[in-house]
Every structure is written in structure tokens, then in C-alpha cells.
Chain A
Amino acid sequence: MAEPAQAGIGQPSLANALFVAPYMVLVTGLLFAPLALGIWLAFQDYDMLGGWAGGVGLENFQNLWDDRIFRGTVRNTIKFVLMTTPAFVILGLFLALALNNSLRRSAILRTIFFGSSVLSVTIVTLIWRLIYLPDRGLLADILALVSLPGVDMVNSQIWALPAIAIVTVWWIIGLPMTLFLAGLQQIPAELYEAAALDNASRWRTLISITLPSIRRTIVVVAVIEVILQFQLFGQALLITGGGPDNTTRPMVQFIYEAGFRDLQLGFAAAASQVLFVLMLIAALGQFWAGRRRA
């Protein structure tokens, strides 16, 4: 995004700060203040029913560490990120490569692939819960056509998380596809002209020109997807509710339940900090890996 320092126009004047004042008030009051409050809460014994019972140091984090269900949500979330991120990168790149041209038919196909991402999570889960119905869902109907037995994916410990992953990829494949399309369109045409002069094959052009040129985009897409998929919540809550046997409960659902159902604010805030730190580590790690290779 935008670079931090670039001189403006005109004389410096404190009055100019009024332009940014409304936003600075909002970001301070509604983003940094709750962030600070959340970090403070994470070290307090505070629940909505019992009230504030003072600081407890690292006890909330210790309790999280000892909580089998919380450890499960960390595992589930990481598994989910590992399932979806490669799918988003590979499928997104494939669609972008196939549809990066000015044909009308490609424009229509791009519209289709991006279209599902404008729907809300509620509509998407409504559709897919019906598709996954074991006795009369679309999936069962299609499997029956080829004489395969239906699987009750949503209630299967093995299939429930992949089922949520499939829904998620269907829902928002448009984002990585679009980011890859933007990346592909920045490759200078001269590079391709040179390759054409050399009679390079399509495959060879892809391997030695296209992919190296969008290496940065690939890293960016992977980082964005890791950050986004760590935030898995609505799909799991609405499709499986975290089950069967907690195999699909993500960290955000844990935060939701601890904070808003059990009203354990300190505990929930501690879980939020763990999620925040995990997301930062994953993003920084990938960024660093991408830099080193670049």
C-alpha cells in the first residue's frame, strides 16, 4: 500500500491535522483502546457475572494451555489453514492464468468465480448445509448417480473439516484469483514478446517468465490467505457448530463461546491474544521466507 513518507503540498500548518483528526479519534477509541484493554484483560480475572477479581498474571494463559478443547481449536485452525491456503493459491493461480485475456467468455467466467464471494457467510452456509444433507442433498444425489454411497460429511470426524474447507474455497476463491490477475497484468509485455521470438513453448514461458515474475504476488496471496483463514468462524459455527466431537471448532469460535456465552472476559481476551500472535508469526514467517527466496 501507500508509502509512509512523501511530502505534501503547501506550508505546514497544524490546521491541516484537522483532516485526519476524525479518523485518528476513531482508530484510537475503537481500535487501539480496545486492543490495549484486551491485552490488559488477558491478565485479569474478570468475568461478567463475578465481576473483576484483580490481576492474575499468566493464569489465563496457563489455563488455556491446560484446556484440552482450546488446544484442539489451535490444532483445528492450523489444519484448516494448511488445507485451504494451498488450495487458494493453486486454484486461484490456475484460474487467473486461464482467464487472463480479453475474451468475452473469460469475462463471464471471472464473473462466476468471483460472484460467490459477495454472498454473506449465512447464505453460503445455508446453501451448503443443504448440499451436504446426507439423505437428499445435492452431493448425495450426485454420488447416487454414479452409484456411490453418500457420506454424512458434516457429522464425520474425518470429513467435517474438509467439508468446511470446500465451502470456504467455493465462497472466496475470487479474492486470490483477482490478486493473481492483477499480478499477471503487471508483467511487461516485452518479456512475452522475447519469449515468442525464441519460439518458447507455452509451458516453458509459464515456468521461466510468468511464475518468476509473479513470485511476490504468490507470497502476498499466501500471507493474505493464512491471515484470513486463521479467522475461520461463521462457516464452522453455522455448518457444524464445532462438532463432531470438537473436531471442527476453530479458535475464533472458542473466543466467541468463552467471551459471549460463558462471559469469561479475561479468559476470552487471553485466547484472542494467542490468536493474534499466531497470525502475526505466520504472516511474518511467510513474508520472511518469501523475501529470502526473492
Chain B
Amino acid sequence: MSTYRQGRSLGDRLLLVAVVALAVIWIAPIVWVVGLSFKPNDVLMRTTGGILFPPFTTKNYADILAASQVFAWMLNSTIVAVGQTVLTLIIASLAGYGFARTNFPGRSALFVVVLAALAVPEQAIIVPLHTMFAAVDLHNTFVALIAPRLAFPFGVLLMTQYFRAIPPEIEEAALLDRASRLKVFWRIVLPLSIPAQATLGTYTFLHAWNEYFWPLVSATKPAMYTLTVGLASMQTNFAQTEGIGFLMAQAVFAGLPVLILYLFFQRHIVSAVAGGPVK
């Protein structure tokens, strides 16, 4: 919806100039870093100016392919993100349907519990959570990397809200025909919720891919690092590093999948954070 008349007043133009200037500031760091990733490391030791001029090299990217652990970390991140996304979709859809559309004793009380979980930040539980996983010797496993996030209530609340908005008449008819509850959920309600699944799925994937604190304390063996933790582990001695171009190539390489995902699924990501579609 356009809420302003699109005039061509001086004010409009100044506003446009300001916003475009900000956009340049926003995008300049990324352009600069992509440029640096194509520069030889020995040149970058002296200066990072003149990224528009030769010499250029693709050696930094070739080095990633050759020696770096980035591929292994990327695979770990993929397993964690896909696992967390699939499990979140299943668990949150079931729970969301249960809360939105079925009746059972204690339903309202349990829903209040879920709402209360919203107030608990990761930082408040990370120390005891780590102790619990250590007690059962599960650190440095995918179970430890995937499971804790499944307990956070965002997905359940999102799905509950979505299922409530679906007109109940379709389900009521099916239930009169003595269809089982699970069948109604599976055959009728779930297919109607594809847009919400896409939103929750994209959001969960991104969140899992970018998560830092829990993988940092749980995956302590380099072979189990996720991409986020692995890249962080290479940032020490940054100012003295002889491989700025190499570091930047890894940053670009690690950022590319999410940026591509973002360009394709932007609508879903935006509606996940806004709690509804934004035009």
C-alpha cells in the first residue's frame, strides 16, 4: 500500500538522496570485501587501497578448495541447519495444530507455559545446558548442535497463529465424516500451511546457519566446528595476518549461500521477522 502521494517536491528528492547515500554506506563494506578477496595477499600487506585496479588473482579461492577446512565446516553447518529446520517444522506444526485446533484437558495452561518460554533468553540457560550435555557426554555431536534450539517456542507460536487463521469449516466437515484427527491434520490442514512452513523453514535455517554461542561452547573439536565457529577461530592475530585476501575469500564463500538464499526467499524471511507479510 502506498501511503504517500508520490510527489516530486524538493523534500522527496532530499529524502531519496539521503536514503541512497545510506544504501551506499550499507553496501560498500560488502563490495570492498569482495574486491579484496580477489587481490594477492602480499599486496594487501602494504595497502588495501585501489581494489579497482590490477593485480587481481583467484588464488585465494583456489586456496579454499585446496587446503582449508571450510568445506568440512560448511558440511557441518548444512547438516545442523537442515536437521534443525526439518525437526522444527515437524514439531512446531504438530504442536501449533494441537494448540490451535484441538481440545484436551490442560490445553490453556500448557499454552501459557509455551508463552512463558518466550521470555527465557539463551544466555540464561547456556551454562546449565552445557553441564547437562556434558553429563551425558554428547558434546561434539550433531545431536548437541541441533537439539537445544528445538526447545525455543517461536515456531510453535507462529504455527499456532497460522492454524487459527485457517477457516474451521473444512475441518469440521471432515471430522463429522469420522476422519481421525491426525488424518485431518495431515491431509487437510498441513497442505494449507505451506506458506507458513516456508516462512518458518527459511527463518529456522538462517538462524541455525548463523548461530554462534552454543556451537562455540558445544563443538570444541575443529572437525565438528560449524562454519560460523570455524571462521571465528581463524580471526585471531588478525592485524598481523599475511592472508587478508584469503580470509576475505573465506568470508565471501561463507556468506554467499545465505545471501543467495535471502535473495530467493526474502519474502518469507521478512514475514517471519515481521510476524506477517510486508509488502
A binds B: yes
Residues of A within 8 A of B (CB): 1-2, 4-20, 22-24, 26-27, 29-35, 37-38, 41, 95, 98-103, 109, 111-116, 118-123, 125-131, 133, 136-138, 141, 170, 173-175, 178-179, 181-182, 184-185, 187, 189, 192, 196, 202, 210, 227, 231, 233-234, 238, 252, 255-256, 259-260, 265, 268-269, 272-273, 275-276, 279-280
- Of the listed residues A6, A7, A120, A131, the one surrounded by the most CB atoms of chain B closer than 10 A to its CB is A120
Residues of B within 8 A of A26 (CB): 91, 147, 150-151
- Of the listed residues A260, A268, A279, the one surrounded by the most CB atoms of chain B closer than 10 A to its CB is A260
Q: Which of A10, A133, A136 contacts B103 (CB 8 A)?
A: A10
- Tell me whether A178 and B22 are in contact (CB under 8 A): no
Q: In the complex, A255 Cα to B49 Cα: how many Å?
A: 39
Q: Which of A4, A118, A126, A137 contacts B247 (CB 8 A)?
A: A126
The tally of residues in B whose CB lies under 8 Å from a CB in A reads 118
> Interface code B108-128, partner A: CB below 8 Å = 1, 0 otherwise?
101111110111111111111
- Which parts of B169-183 form the interface with A (CB within 8 Å)? 171-172, 175, 181
Residues of A within 8 A of B110 (CB): 20, 24
Question: Knowing A34-B132, A138-B28 touch, does A8 contact B102 (C-beta < 8 A)?
Answer: yes
Q: Which of A8, A23, A35, A133 contacts B120 (CB 8 A)?
A: A35
29 A–B pairs (Cβ distance < 8 Å), ordered by A: A8-B100, A8-B101, A9-B103, A10-B103, A12-B104, A19-B95, A20-B98, A27-B113, A31-B125, A32-B120, A38-B128, A95-B22, A98-B15, A100-B2, A111-B263, A120-B209, A123-B251, A127-B29, A131-B32, A175-B273, A178-B273, A178-B274, A179-B273, A181-B278, A231-B122, A238-B235, A260-B127, A268-B127, A276-B120
- Tell me whether A182 and B235 are in contact (CB under 8 A): no
Q: In the complex, A98 Cα to B130 Cα: how many Å?
A: 45
Least Cβ–Cβ distance between B118 and chain A, in angstroms: 8
- Tell me whether B98 and A182 are in contact (CB under 8 A): no
- Tell me whether A136 and B15 are in contact (CB under 8 A): no
B196 within 8 A of A: no
Least Cβ–Cβ distance between B132 and chain A, in angstroms: 6
- Tell me whether B209 and A34 are in contact (CB under 8 A): no
Q: Which of A1, A118, A141 contacts B261 (CB 8 A)?
A: A118
Q: In the complex, A37 Cα to B133 Cα: how many Å?
A: 13
Q: In the complex, A259 Cα to B128 Cα: how many Å?
A: 9
Q: In the complex, A182 Cα to B272 Cα: how many Å?
A: 11
Least Cβ–Cβ distance between A236 and chain B, in angstroms: 12
- Which parts of B229-248 form the interface with A (CB within 8 Å)? 229, 231-232, 235, 238-239, 244, 247-248
- Tell me whether A272 and B212 are in contact (CB under 8 A): no
- Of the listed residues A32, A123, A269, the one surrounded by the most CB atoms of chain B closer than 10 A to its CB is A123
* A-B pairs with lowest CB-CB distance, top 9: A19-B98, A16-B102, A30-B151, A23-B95, A12-B103, A120-B210, A37-B128, A20-B98, A182-B274
B33 within 8 A of A: yes
Least Cβ–Cβ distance between A217 and chain B, in angstroms: 10
